[in-house]
Amino acid sequence: MMKVKGKHLILSFVLIVTGFILALNYEMANEQISINPGYERQWEREDELRNQLI
């Protein structure tokens, strides 16, 4: 019975670490969009230029 609890502890730890990493990546992505507000317009311009080439 102790092995099951040990496995649950390891699984819980892995899930907590994974959740923390996902939350950190989400925060960094939002921060990057806030820092570079022209990013959306630049992407649209590049997309338009690519379509003109095709």
Per-residue pLDDT tens listing for the chain (54 residues)? 556 788 888 999 999 999 999 999 998 887 766 666 666 678 788 888 888 887
CA distance 34 to 29: 9
Look up the pTM and report it.
Answer: 0.54
CA distance 47 to 39: 12
| 39 contacts: CB under 8 Å, gap ≥ 6 | 32, 33
What is residue 41's predicted lDDT score, i.e. its pLDDT?
A: 77
CA distance 23 to 16: 11
- Token code pair at residue 31: 């921060």
CA distance 47 to 54: 11
